[in-house]
Structure 1
């Protein structure tokens, strides 16, 4: 009888990847805070998580055959954020404080997912040792 990692690890194995994707989107927003015309983006967490849970991993297009072939592309789950403040005239919709707060919250949730996965693996090791 084999071990089903999907059953043993629960949803945390999927949330880790989605939170990493969201961190990339948020860091892109922060990096483009001063870029005229840049529209702040957000990852639809539920849609991305459902895709990850159902094994619908998406491939990024590669510009060179030596690039890593298995990376997740969240284009289907990307949304544009509605700005909370009026336009400053340059068309940029990034609110730096909002992006930093979202990035920090996502980092804490990523760390929590790591902790949950660590405890799941620890429990599996104990079970395999018969403790």
Structure 2
């Protein structure tokens, strides 16, 4: 039974994306002074296309009593700017752009968290019978 029609699942995927983007931004900020470090970014469209093209590995069943399983392998959609040098030491991190991206991503993440929270509050109200 799906209580919210896939809404929670969609919000979960959005939270996973925002979390991965936040980790990537934090990694860029941590390496702002590392020579030859190339800034990384997460692209939602790339993650979506990677998920569609994810390779599936299936187990070979040699007996009917063996369990059938499949594993999907995919890449998370993180890419680096290989040809971009922001500084003379080869570093490609623009601190102002990273901080702006972090602020934007934080707002997005908090909005998703509030939406999930409201969905659970609605469920809690239904369980309690409107009290």
Question: Would you call these one fold, judging by a TM-score over 0.5?
Answer: yes
* Number of residue pairs the alignment of both structures matches: 110
Bigger Rg over Cα: 2
1:1-131 equivalence runs, <5 A:
2-4=1-3, 7-9=6-8, 11-48=10-47, 75-81=75-81, 83=84, 87-131=86-130
Q: Deviation at 1:114?
A: 0.4
Unpaired runs of 5+ in structure 1?
57-72
Q: Any idea what SS the aligned residue of 2:79 has? A: strand
Corresponding residue for residue 68 of structure 1:
none
CA 1:14–1:45 in structure 2 vs 1: closer, same or farther (change >3 Å)?
same
Q: Tell me how large the CA RMSD over aligned residues is.
A: 2.8
Tell me the TM-score normalised to structure 2 length: 0.69
Q: Secondary structure at the match of 1:22?
A: helix
> Higher RCO, 1 or 2 (CA under 8 Å, sep at least 6)?
1
CA–CA distance in structure 2, aligned partners of residues 76 and 16 of structure 1: 13
- 1:54-92 per-residue CA deviation (whole Å, 9 max, x = no partner) reads 8x7xxxxxxxxxxxxxxxx98541122475xx6432111
Identify the structure with the greater strand proportion: 2
Could you tell which deviates more after superposition, 86-95 or 19-28? 86-95
Q: What's the secondary structure of 1:42's corresponding residue?
A: strand
Gaps of 5+ in 2: 55-72
